Structure 1
Amino acid sequence: MTDSSLPAHDEAHGGGLGPRLNWLRAAVLGANDGIVSTAGLVVGVAGATESHDALLTAGLAGLVAGSMSMAAGEYVSVSTQRDSEEAALAQEKRELREEPEAELRELTGLLAGHGLSAEVAREAAEQLTARDALRAHARVELGIDPDRLTVPWHAAAASFLAFTVGALLPLLAIVLPPASARLWVTVACVLVALVLTGWWSARLGGAPTNPAILRNVAGGALAMAVTYATGALLGAAGV
């Protein structure tokens, strides 16, 4: 009996396509956050002033603050997840040491729940336990691959990079064109980027693309409209 008796967990946690898609989806969403938040910021400032220096300063400040916030938030979140995974593995290791027979019965029942007969499930549980009991229980019972625990620094760096890449688009679009065209160039570039990120995130998640694109574009357009109106009002008031 081979590890093929663990189809769902091997595929999801054993280095297959699932983890890579999750990272890619997180990168797309991080870039999308960078696009929307920075676009809203620089468009809002553009509503209040035409100063190139003010736009550049606001855009850079938003990029740095947003990327650092994303990285810190992801680091804390993934650290908490890793702590939970390590605690679950430690508890499972202790149970295997103190109650091996009970754990063997539990593994047999879990394998039987995958559709194996009682006899085959028992044989598979015995072989998996003899090979590596902790890894077998981690994958089948906990859905964790002990060799592929989440890495907080990796997640933080990926979030930082994704947000930065996304934020660069509206920042460059607002500061490079001439003053008469910068607002419309920024809006056009942002909307095109939101179409692409909405399409790609839907494709990665296996969802319909049109609703995802519509939501993404509508949300970004609303954010830019609200912040521009706010900036225009503040600028007119001399604030």
Structure 2
Amino acid sequence: MNLHGPDHSCLLLKAGMDAQKAGVMDLIWHSPEDKQPQIDFYDLIPLYQFAKSKAVSRSVDKHMRKLWKMEQGKALVHLTVFKEESIMSSKNIRRQQTTLGSFLCSALRDELEADCVVFDGGNIRGRSGLRAAGGAPLGQALGLHPLRSGAGELPWSSDMVVIVLSGGQLAEAIKVSRTEKRGTGGFFQMDTGVRWEAEEVTHIANEPLDKARMYCVGLMHASLAGMNDNHVFKEWRQDHIMPKERMQANLPKNS
């Protein structure tokens, strides 16, 4: 198998998240005249079977020490408190609405003072199912670390923007994400005020969808810029100036 074929195709070996696997391949040049190698072998190797590196472990401990200290004893950081027997799950987040996705999107909606928030499921990475009992902070009943659990769900910065979309545009963007992009990182998680029934948006901000109404929509800056290739945002960019992170913007290019 050529590294680059005659049609300019390229083998992509994706190891996945959280360093659970490593991509290994052997590249062979059969003669000095070969301009490119051939791939003789490739595989994804699970890393659990290997011993930990002491040097890497020391580096991790050094960088995590401040966080661990915050989570000890009285300094334990509680992100929020949930009702008895509540379950917060991010499992199958690229294929279905999750409770953790609803929780995060609703919090972002309130903070941004938007009508709704849509958030790419691919940026929520914990794949966890956490239960809190007796009104305890999430994770405490299981002996987990709430702050670290949150960091695991959102492991990197996800800069947000607020733009204005018509109800028709918003419904189409959500439909694309939940049909064409289902199973990918472009599947939208939504706040609790948005309803999705029979593969259609029926409500925004807990009110029936009005396709002619203009809505303030919070989303990731990267999504608006083209991540996950939602054609509604591509068309929006053709007529508007890209806003800066955490700013509300709906500025036509000719303004």
User: TM-score per shorter chain, which class?
Assistant: under 0.3
Which structure has more relative contact order (CA 8 Å, sep 6+)? It is 1
TM-score (normalizing by structure 1): 0.24
TM-score (normalizing by structure 2): 0.23
Instruction: Name the one with the larger strand percent.
Output: 2
Of structures 1 and 2, the larger Rg is shown by 1
Instruction: Name the one with the larger helix percent.
Output: 1
